[in-house]
Amino acid sequence: MNDQEPAQTPNGNQTGDRLRSTIAFPYGSLRDAEAIADVLHQSWGGSASPDQIAGSLNTKPRGGTFRNKLGAARIFGAVNVTRGKISLTDLGHRLVDPNAKKGARVEAFLTVPLFKAIYEAYEGKSLPPDGGLEQKIAELGVSVKQTSKARQSLQSSAKLAGFFDTTKGRLVKPPVTSTPGVSSKQKGQGSNGSASQQAASDPLTALWMTLLDDGGSWSADETQKFVAAARAMREVMSKSD
């Protein structure tokens, strides 16, 4: 889906009010998408039919509850549907990985065209109250009859992904840090990599490596908070020494 496509039912059919929406959004939430991903991973090895997934969730494959969850999983980028088979995407695999879940949730939230548009419109600003937010959602292309559902999905998904952790009522992209010694760049150095070993034994080095690896995607506010935390840690360590 792209920003110009209307929101769709999970099976891809455009119906009713969704036909009048010109920007994609899920009827379910990010938690619903994770429920589908978890079942695929835990019960079916990453790929299954709608009937199999619905059976694992104790729902009917043609029921509204299941259709909304599956639709959410697709729009959040957690699954692909091909020839009657539903399979985890790379993002879906990361959503079920405890070590990668935090970053995957952020990416999944911003994968939804409507949610990304709202984030970009209010980045660094306070969100309007519910009525004002629904008006903005309508301006972005959601059918007036569906703005309330779209807002509720956005708010619950943003909360799960950590966008409200810093300031309530303001979408702030959470910094996604790697576990010291196991970031993608450090993995390439092998088990004998000196940087990896040093990061594992020295918290300040670990913070520096995190900044180098992930800091490029942070906002100025996020970077400032990270630096402040690092300085506080250095102060504590200096007193301990």
Domain locations along the chain: 1-174, 184-240
Asked if the model's pLDDT at residue 81 lies above 80, the reply is: yes
Token reading at 203: 């918290």
Euclidean distance between CA atoms 229 and 173, whole angstroms: 17
Phi, psi of 81 (to 5 degrees): -120, 115
Q: Classify the C-alpha dihedral 209-215-216-220 as positive or negative.
A: negative
Q: What's the first-to-final CA gap in the chain, in angstroms?
A: 55
Q: How far from the centroid of its chain's Cα atoms is residue 186's Cα?
A: 24
Confidence of residue 211 (pLDDT cuts 50, 70, 90): low
In the predicted model, what is the mean pLDDT of residues 36-45?
A: 97
Asked if the model's pLDDT at residue 3 lies above 60, the reply is: no
Q: In what order do the strands lie in the sheet with 85-88?
A: 47-48, 85-88, 79-82
Asked if the model's pLDDT at residue 189 lies above 90, the reply is: no
Euclidean distance between CA atoms 135 and 128, whole angstroms: 10
Q: Are strands 85-88 and 79-82 parallel, antiparallel or unpaired?
A: antiparallel
